[in-house]
Structure 1
């Protein structure tokens, strides 16, 4: 029995399954959660998705109405954890990634836990671990679960659409180095199952609000700084600037990739002031320009070599100064 067959056996044996993912959800965490949920339902079981906080606005076209959120349904989430006899941990490699409140619940469970993730350095807390750092996304691994457990015939648009979304967003529309030949084989399976891929692209690309576009325009026009000696772009946005443009969760998610698209740019760093801290996104090009080490060593973060996150408790100006001081340490002169 391979690990995927073992996971399906655990699903079939369980009565109270919950699906968790990391704080500050993205396309992959939401997509993998929904894809797994609908697969579990196809197996004749039920599950509850418990996330730390809501999905960003650009994903509202997905049906996440049944998700239990730690932010405003804490009692229901706690009850779900207490009743659980199987917990899935999707798209995160350590319990601290789910936020303090949910972390306490997760670490208190005595039932079996299953991690399915593609990030580096997974913690050794789950009962069963699927950690494939070469995979493009956790959504890709959910397709592998379905296929490698002998349940490929169950794939349909309801399962496949959120999984396609997760792969699409975590690969930067299939342009990141994590897009492997196997990724395209997985995509072909999803299309064969009836996923309308063009509609997913339309919902992501043609779903902007006017305030989101104005905020992005302001960021690129007024806040973009290029450290030309190192070809690193930096954008900083204070809470006042976000409020001025009626910021909604997800409005700045594409800024790092936009800045990175500038000809000759090695890396882009974007940070925004939210919830009293600076949320930082790191993006880069090529094996010679990893950003995960900079994020881990200085900003309590990490992630993939070319796509990482971090945080700073310093004010905006001091965070910006710190980033500028660190760039020469991690990037060579052009």
Structure 2
């Protein structure tokens, strides 16, 4: 089993963690032992630098490689003990790697790496950690933890707000699960507000929940505290609550003064909830069969994810119609958009199955 040895000392903190603490968490998340003593290894990490967790996986797969930044070794995978000690000394002294049978790879010369979990392809961050570079490196690590393919609000509206809240949470030791719990309470509160026809107040509370729904995941990735339970907690709420919001919105139309007939309301719910469930089933089937999200197959699929009938795009529709005093039309529009999105999803699946039947590979355009 690989083990990683920290080289040097650095008390500067990123997201409340020293480089040594951060390295230990990254190693633990990747089932890599945290070594102690000069003989540890074969992986070595320079504590003057911080980097995206992807780089530890990258170096672990490349024996006798050294990753440098500005000519200084940052990460190394060195099997020979004497050579490893020489590399460790070079890290501590900020010197160039020693000559020998090593492959030196400069960070500056590398291109992007694929990240299936975050549905994107980009160059993971890496930089020297000093008190002056903390803000820039926190920003780089935060956006490095952001999904590349998501809805338009999460991608374009939330990031700066969520960055401020993520920094605040890390500074005060708030855990991702605590953020998720607060968000869950706001989610329930928004449901009751919609039910009573207090749409504007509900939208404000719902907006807070949607921002926190971004913060908890980013906080977990930035502080290397992701967990199975936290993931189930977060994604379980995401998966379950939208149908309750649409139902509550429809019930609240009575109090607002724009009620729908029972038959119309029932039909709209069948379309919205049924379409939502079927889309999720299609996405699950696609992922199980092709080992990737349906939204990362082709460029169009990623672009359509921005506006597909999920919670955030649907809330934009409801807000637009509420602004003109017709929340009832908003629910009808959500139902129509759900049907359109369902047709697109079904078409994506049919096209993928047809491509497979013709022997064409179904692979992500981000690969």
TM over 0.5: same fold? no
Larger Rg: 2
Greater helix fraction, Structure 1 or Structure 2: 2
Query: TM class by shorter-chain length?
Result: under 0.3
* TM-score when normalising by structure 1: 0.23
* TM-score when normalising by structure 2: 0.22
